[in-house]
Amino acid sequence: MKILVTGGAGYIGSHTCVELLKDNYDVVVLDNFSNSCQEALNRIQRLANKKLSFYKADLLESPSVRQVFKDHKIDAVIHFAGLKAVGESTCIPLKYYHNNLTGTFNLLSIMGEFNVKTLVFSSSATVYGDPSTLPITETFPLSATNPYGRTKLMIEEILQDLHTSDKDWNIALLRYFNPVGAHESGELGEDPQGLPNNLMPYISQVAVGRLPRLSVFGADYDTPDGTGVRDYIHVTDLALGHIRTLPKLAEKPGVVIYNLGTGNGFSVLEMINGFEKASGQKIAYQVTDRRPGDIAACFADASKAKRELNWEAGKSLDDMCKDTWNWQKKNPIGYRTQPKEE
């Protein structure tokens, strides 16, 4: 079976490609390297000891996307490609709407042209807005509070409309909670450009000495220790969730929606402690004001994915912290420690 992975050189895409290759799928990656690089693809192939096909192409440019479908008989698409920084999306919303929405429109139209109608879409727990109770099930009301989140919500709705119009489409909307960690080899991981927006990469850059200290955004939330609580999920578990979704789509279920989380919430202070224990490094931090737009707590009810996909997250907080630290230590400045593009 041949899978097109858009955004396959990125953080979650690269881990998913390794698992796909290990599972004997043929993999074609399309990525414009706007937030990734060739080195990630080199490492995927080394880790899996297999080759993938690669197109350096932009989803905004239909002819190059069409070329991929001309060259390969694609069976299904896993669509990771998109811009993902919440803060940035509020400053340059049009770029986010254009890249994420137009990119997806182009992809869907071309898939339709070639009669490829099986899609796994990277959605996010951000579509639940500020949930009124916890844990969050897939039937909770949806809302968005920023342009990035709105692109996810809009694409979910567009995909539902597409299936309504043509029942041949089979689509999985996977709502990720907070992906963290890295490949256990330390060869693949998250490589944010500039200052990290998310907690784990920030902590690990403090640990490795790239940043002086972490700001803990608020310690006055209505949570056990006052700091924000999230459902952190190891990126390899998340990758495996995609692999388990493909056979489900082969059953032609229409549109299916799954939370991919662990079901456990950890606070910022618990993450700091977990990381200190796993790495043996002290994480300097100071409590600052809340980050605007943040919610107190968010964690999944992940039982639907367990029931229907036979998938559940197997890795612990300690695994997430150890693997993040291993990646950070081996690659203190990310993939840029390696030779530039081939």
Which residues contact ligand UD1 (rule: CB under 6 A)? 86, 124-126, 149, 178, 197-199, 202, 214-217, 228, 230, 268, 291, 293-294
First-to-last C-alpha distance (Å) of the chain: 28
Angstrom distance (rounded) from CA 300 to CA 224: 18
Residue 51 has a CB neighbour count (10 Å cut-off) of 11
Q: What is the token pair recorded at 141?
A: 């009301």
Name residues contacting ligand NAD, limited to 171-190 (CB under 6 A).
176, 179
CB of 122 to ligand NAD, least distance (A): 3
Residue 236 binds which of ligand NAD, ligand UD1, none (CB < 5-8 A, kind-dependent): none
Using alpha carbons, select from 256, 6, 1 the residue that is nearest to residue 106: 6
- Please identify the residue of the shown chain whose CB is closest to the bound ligand NAD: 10
Residue 68 is a binding residue for ligand NAD (CB under 6 A): no
Q: Is 148 a catalytic residue?
A: yes
Residue 10 has a CB neighbour count (10 Å cut-off) of 27
Phi-psi region of 132 (alpha: psi -120 to 50; beta: other; left: phi over 0): alpha
Place of tokens 């403090």: 206
Residue 59 is a binding residue for ligand NAD (CB under 6 A): yes
CB of 78 to ligand UD1, least distance (A): 18
Name residues contacting ligand NAD, limited to 20-39 (CB under 6 A).
31-36
* Pick 120 or 287: Cβ nearer ligand NAD: 120
Residue 82 binds which of ligand NAD, ligand UD1, none (CB < 5-8 A, kind-dependent): ligand NAD
Angstrom distance (rounded) from CA 217 to CA 291: 6
* Main-chain dihedrals φ then ψ at residue 277, nearest 5 degrees: -65, -45
- Write each residue from 269 to 298 as x if it is in contact with ligand NAD (CB under 6 A), else as -, in one continuous string: ------------------------------
* Pick 181 or 274: Cβ nearer ligand NAD: 181
* Pick 6 or 126: Cβ nearer ligand UD1: 126
Residue 215 binds which of ligand NAD, ligand UD1, none (CB < 5-8 A, kind-dependent): ligand UD1
Please give the sequence-ordered ranges of beta strands (E in DSSP) within the chain, or none if there are none.
2-6, 26-31, 53-56, 76-79, 118-124, 170-176, 178-180, 214-217, 229-230, 232-234, 255-260, 266-267, 285-288, 297-298
* Pick 81 or 309: Cβ nearer ligand NAD: 81
Q: What is the largest CA-CA distance in the chain?
A: 55
Residue 204 is a binding residue for ligand NAD (CB under 6 A): no
Q: What is the token pair recorded at 254?
A: 């229409």
Contact predicate 75/1, CB 8 Å? yes
Catalytic position from the list 148, 176, 221, 335: 148
Contact predicate 107/82, CB 8 Å? no
Catalytic residue ranges: 148
Question: Which spans of this chain sit near ligand NAD (rule: CB under 6 A)?
Answer: 7, 9-13, 31-36, 58-60, 80-84, 99, 103, 122, 124, 176, 179
